[in-house]
Structure 1
Amino acid sequence: MNLSEREAAVRRLLESTSPLVPPDLHAEAVRRGSRMLRRRTAARRLLWLALLAAAVAFLVWASVARPWVEPPSTTTPPISDW
């Protein structure tokens, strides 16, 4: 298809009548869009809640396990009677 054929095809498309749009198309689009927005908001809140729960769980574990403290040595006995 060369350039003149493409131009003629585009002209035919533009000169033809536009297809009829269903009358309830706008209402259906608004309904679906609001449902998508509610789902996206719920998913975002759920992810923030999961992140908060993970942070709290980490803080509780860190306060109980205290991983920054060096464990006592088990290879030598304690020194006494100096």
Structure 2
Amino acid sequence: MNRTEREAAVRRVLDQTPPQVPPELHAAAVRRGDRVLRRRRLARRVLWLLVCAAAVAFTVWALTARPWAAPPPATPPVGDW
């Protein structure tokens, strides 16, 4: 099929009247869309909650462990013998 035949086939398809859509399809699509939006909103809230919990946990760990402080010496200093 060359280009002109493809264009003619596309024009024939586009010139036809579109098929009738069942009336209950709109209501079903709206219900499904609402459900998808609710799930996305819930997932977004759960992820924000996890991020906030991780930030709090990191802050508590950093305040208790003090990773920026110098570590204690591994051995006691050697005295005069």
TM range (shorter): 0.7 to 0.9
Q: Which digits, 9 at most, give the CA deviation of each residue in 1:9-47, with x for residues without a partner?
A: 123213333212111111111111111111001000000
Asked if 1:27 is matched to 2:18, the reply is no
**Structure 1-normalised TM-score?**
0.81
Partner of 1:6: 6
RMSD between superposed Cα atoms in Å: 1.8
Code of the aligned partner of 2:5: E
Partner of 1:74: 74
Q: What is the DSSP-based 3-state SS (H/G/I as helix, E as strand, rest coil) of the residue aligned with 1:74? A: coil
Identity over the aligned pairs, expressed in percent?
A: 66
Structure 1 runs of 4+ aligned residues shifted over 3 Å read none
Partner of 2:61: 61
Moved more, 39-48 or 12-21: 12-21
